[in-house]
Amino acid sequence: SAQYDIASIRNDFPILGRTVWDKPLVYLDNAASAQRPTAVIDAVKGLYENNYSNVHRGVHRLSQESTDLYDDARVKVRGFLNAACVHEIIFTRGTTESINLVAQSYARPRLKAGDEILITHMEHHSNIVPWQMVCEQTGASLKVVPITDRGELDMEQFRNLLSEKTVLLGVTHVSNALGSVNPVKEMIRAAHERDVPVLVDGAQAVPHIRVDVRELDADFYVFSGHKIYGPTGVGVLYGKERLLNAMPPYQGGGDMILSVTFEGTTYNELPYKFEAGTPNIAGVVGLGAAIDYVNKIGLGAIAAHEHGLLMYATSKLKEIDGLRIIGEAEQKAGLISFVLDDVHPHDIGQMLDAEGVAVRAGHHCAQPVMERFGVPATARASFAMYNTYQEIDVLTDAIKKTIDMFK
Ligand code: PMP
């Protein structure tokens, strides 16, 4: 296989060259947000310098160029997810907005009192709260698949909880708090046997594993640009054409209509029906560049590199007395959550920062996971394509130093 050229990859990310407190930056907060390669920064800058205008409205030259660049990005996302057609790709503000869209436009009109939405105990708040809101609006209730002590979904309970009352299953592909990779294909198959559509939260999956929405047979698949080396404020909702066509618009405004009169309005076709108002044009163009970049390096090569880092970091962290890893699923991707016996996670975060090491300390917007494992918070080291084994050594030494300081 081709050499994984980590030095050249790191060179593509300008921010990795900076220091923090006079130490080289060791960026291990990629699950919160990754960094951007020059290719993405240049795509955004290039758009603003050369082609920028509003999209879809003008016949003038710049508007055509901007529209072409915007449409090209949709073609790239279609290919990236292997969706059947480009109009199944809706641009949103991010994972959060994509889930809210499905909750309000798909679930809300279908839910009645007594119905159920099934989610899991390891969801990010953004795959919990929108469902709670729609349950409150309709009298439906939320059911939750439990997590085992290892941090995997309890699949027996999952099968028991799927019922004729279930209107939709929402499940994260990869947990942002535990790193667990969930068997979403198997879950989708089980749900479909009961005609239950499935929304997969792919925010933590797409940077780390190849996703094929048709192979999974996912009904909805959502992710954010900023976690896959793209800009902030842009994300994707993939939905099956049949489902999207049967859904009312999420927001009203410009671009999502065919004609407007005071007597009534007709809505535009997919995908525009769900893209009201001037979209995040630069964000979408930057996301297209991010996907090109990821494709150039290759998700297979990225996944192999990150798996090596995860194995190495796991074995190094396990050697540390008083360190407990939270989440030991058989299948993990991208991150390690941990706690120390005598040091609060926020103090870990601060001590590591002093060594130039960026990790997240907190509940990771997954408070139910913290409650399940009996911890207020964890420290989380999360990996990207540009992290190195040497950086894991820096992390390990900084953790040991922290323990010594708090003794
Ligand atoms: N789901 C998961 C699994 C996540 O990790 C995140 C981001 N931490 C989100 C949803 C929310 O993504 P965003 O804030 O970009 O909408």
264 Cα–ligand 1 center, Å:
37
Residue 345: alpha-carbon gap to chain centroid: 23
How does pLDDT run across 173-232, given as a tens digit for each residue? 999 999 999 999 999 999 999 999 999 999 999 999 999 999 999 999 999 999 999 999
Residue-wise pLDDT tens digits, 220-239: 999 999 999 999 999 999 99
Rg (CA), the chain: 22
Q: Which atom of ligand 1 approaches the CA of 175 most closely?
A: 3
What average pLDDT does the segment 74-91 reach?
Answer: 98
Q: What's the gap in Å between 1 CA and the centre of ligand 1?
A: 33
The C-alpha atoms of residue 179 and residue 66 are separated, in whole angstroms, by 38
Report pLDDT for 257: 87
Q: What average pLDDT does range 319-323 have in this prediction?
A: 97
Point out the ligand 1 atom lying closest to the alpha carbon of residue 226: 15
| Mean residue pLDDT across the chain | 97
Report the pLDDT averaged over residues 83-106.
Answer: 98
DSSP, collapsed to helix, strand or coil, labels residue 153 as strand
CA of 124 to the centre of ligand 1 (A): 7
Mean pLDDT, range 291-307, rounded to an integer? 97
Substitution site in 91, 96, 208 for ligand 1 pocket (most atoms within 8 Å of beta carbon): 96
Average the pLDDT over 237-250 and give the result.
97
Amino acid at 79: G
Q: Which atom of ligand 1 is nearest to the CA of 96?
A: 16
- Cβ–Cβ under 8 Å, residues 271 and 238: no
And the tokens for 273? 């029906």
Query: What does the pLDDT look like over 116-147, one tens digit per residue?
Result: 999 999 999 999 999 999 999 999 999 999 99
Minimum-distance ligand 1 atom for the alpha carbon of 95: 16
Residues with Cβ within 6 A of ligand 1? Answer: 94-96, 124, 126-127, 172, 176, 201, 203-204, 224, 365
CB-based contact 366:122 (threshold 8 Å): yes
pLDDT band at residue 1 under the 50/70/90 scheme = very low
Q: Is the pLDDT of residue 2 over 80?
A: no
Handedness of CA 302, 308, 310, 316 (dihedral sign): negative
Q: Active-site positions?
A: 365
pLDDT value for 56: 84
Tell me the CA–centroid distance for residue 407 and ligand 1, in Å.
35
What does the pLDDT read at residue 100?
Answer: 98
39-56 residue pLDDT tens = 999 999 999 999 999 998
- Regarding pTM above 0.95, the answer is yes
